[in-house]
Amino acid sequence: MVDLQGLVNELVSKLRRRKVEGSRATARLTAELLRSVISQSKLPATNQPAALIDAVRDVGGKLIAANPIELAVGNIVRRVLHIIREEDHSNARDAVEGFRLSVGGDNDYIVEQDHLNLSVAAQSSLCRPSLHSLLERSPNSATTYFTATSEDDSEEKRKSLDPIARSLEFRRKVISAVNDLIEDINTCHLVIAELAVEHIHPNEVILTFGHSRTVKEFLCAAREKKRSFGLFVAEGAPKYQGHLLAKELAARGLQTTVITDSAVFAMISRVNMVIVGVHAVMANGGVIGPVGLNMVALAAQKHAVPFVVVTGTHKLCPLYPNNPEVSLNEMRSPSEVLSFEEFSDCMDYRIGTGAPQLHVVNPAFDYVPPELVSLFITDIGGYYPSYMYRLIADYYSSDDVVIQQKPAS
């Protein structure tokens, strides 16, 4: 048996010590841990969905508190909670339908709470499924029940009224949905890349900023489809992630020009489109990205250049920038800007504390408001910033927007 608490403490430690960074890595590890929580948690005989929700919220609160700046952690926790709630509601509807058939079809009936053993959440809201879950259903799922034989009907009715069988099936469905979520996280950049040929046209000039795996695959996919285009990569100081992206693109056959961040405004008039990756997409359609991204967005707006964001749906955050739970930024080490040797020359050793005469401010992120974003290209299609709230409503439950953050132990 795997030590569940040990797994939780290990990921909490990695997040707190910044051993794991980046939305994709943190999202995948969070989903895998929560899958273990779901499969190994000991649940009571009754109201299991509520107990499972509490277990996920407890672990999720610790993970979020370990590194609040990694918003993808909270996103995945809320996605898993939404999966549990939707499966609970689906089971409740199936149980009610099975009970209706067992007592005589469409006649009036009273559903006994203890007999059906529904969870509190399902009893309070037998709500309609989200638009996303409806679209993901297979075409034959709605008609399978009606084409079943009498023997199959009897078996299904027996299972729908058996609390143990329903509980096992519930946990199996939740784990299956979480597996699908992990698969989406792992492959979203490839799905987004398939849309590149629809958005990049021949002889265009594109500018990107910093380093993004999704952007890299998006541009390379267009190149493989025989799209010929020019490419500027801003270097993304002080970590110079643009240098890494430029080398990777050149290695895959794309002609790439590296420019300094300060040259973005000078070069933007030659550009047809800006394509960037981001750290998170907020509920209002604004984005959090690497520091300097807002400057690029302002330059694009000034010259009427489309500013396009490519991102996986695991980066959609149901919080607004002004929410107290949101950490918009963090200060990174001054050594990324100035070496210690250069910095030590500015120390005042005449006083006992050696107070520096020079201070270095090195923020990690920028916030770009929604009015500067032209289009989002996600693994489920392209959307305008004004539609982000609808996508978020499909992926998250309003009951899970605020998660009590537990102290990281």
Mean pLDDT of the chain: 84
- Could you tell me the pLDDT band of residue 373, with boundaries at 50, 70 and 90? very high
Three-class DSSP category at 230: strand
Q: What is the pLDDT of residue 129?
A: 56
The CATH superfamily label for domain 188-395 reads Translation initiation factor eif-2b; domain 2 (3.40.50.10470)
pLDDT tens-place string over residues 80-127: 999 999 998 887 776 666 655 555 555 544 444 444 455 555 555 444
Closest CA to 381 of 133, 199, 229: 199
Q: Is the pLDDT of residue 381 over 90?
A: yes
Which residues sit opposite 280 in a β-bridge?
A: 288
Residues 13, 66: Cα–Cα separation, whole Å: 7
pLDDT digits (tens, 9 = 90+) for 206-256: 999 989 999 999 999 999 999 999 999 999 999 999 999 999 999 999 999
**Distance, CA of 78 to CA of 242 (rounded, Å):** 32
pLDDT at 154: 55
Residue type, 123: Q
Please say whether the beta carbons of 99 and 115 come within 8 A.
yes
**Cα 218–chain centre separation:** 18
Q: What is the mean pLDDT of residues 190-206?
A: 95
What is the pLDDT confidence band of residue 72, given thresholds at 50, 70 and 90? very high
Q: What is the pLDDT of residue 340?
A: 76
Task: Encode pLDDT of 9-21 as tens digits.
Answer: 999 999 999 999 8
DSSP secondary structure string, 304-325? T--EEEE--GGGB-SS-TT-TT
pLDDT at 264 over 50: yes
Report which of residues 182 and 343 the model is more confident about. 182
pLDDT at residue 294 tops 90: yes
- 274-286 pLDDT, tens digit per residue, is 999 999 999 999 9
Confidence grade of residue 144 (pLDDT, cut at 50, 70, 90): very low
Question: What is the predicted pLDDT for the residue at 31?
Answer: 97
Helix (H) or strand (E) holding 231: strand 230-234
Residue 142 has what pLDDT? 42
State the alpha helices, DSSP H only, in 194-281: 196-199, 213-224, 241-251, 264-267
What single-letter DSSP state applies at residue 205?
Answer: E
The stretch 124-131 carries a mean pLDDT of 52
Quote the pLDDT of residue 132: 55
Question: Where residue 204 falls among pLDDT bands split at 50, 70, 90?
Answer: very high
Domain edges within the chain:
188-395
Residue 110: the pLDDT is 46
Average pLDDT over residues 337-341: 81
Q: Per mean pLDDT, which of 48-52, 93-97, 131-135, 289-293 is the most reliable?
A: 289-293
- Structure-model confidence comparison of residues 152 and 295, the more confident one: 295
Average pLDDT over residues 261-277: 96
Q: How wide is the angle at C-alpha 275 spanned by C-alphas 362 and 303, nearest 5°?
A: 90
Under 8 Å between Cβ of 73 and 64: yes
Q: How far apart are the first and last CA of the chain?
A: 22
Tens of pLDDT along 75-89? 999 999 999 999 988
* Percentage of the chain exceeding pLDDT 70: 78
Provide the token pair at 315: 């980066």
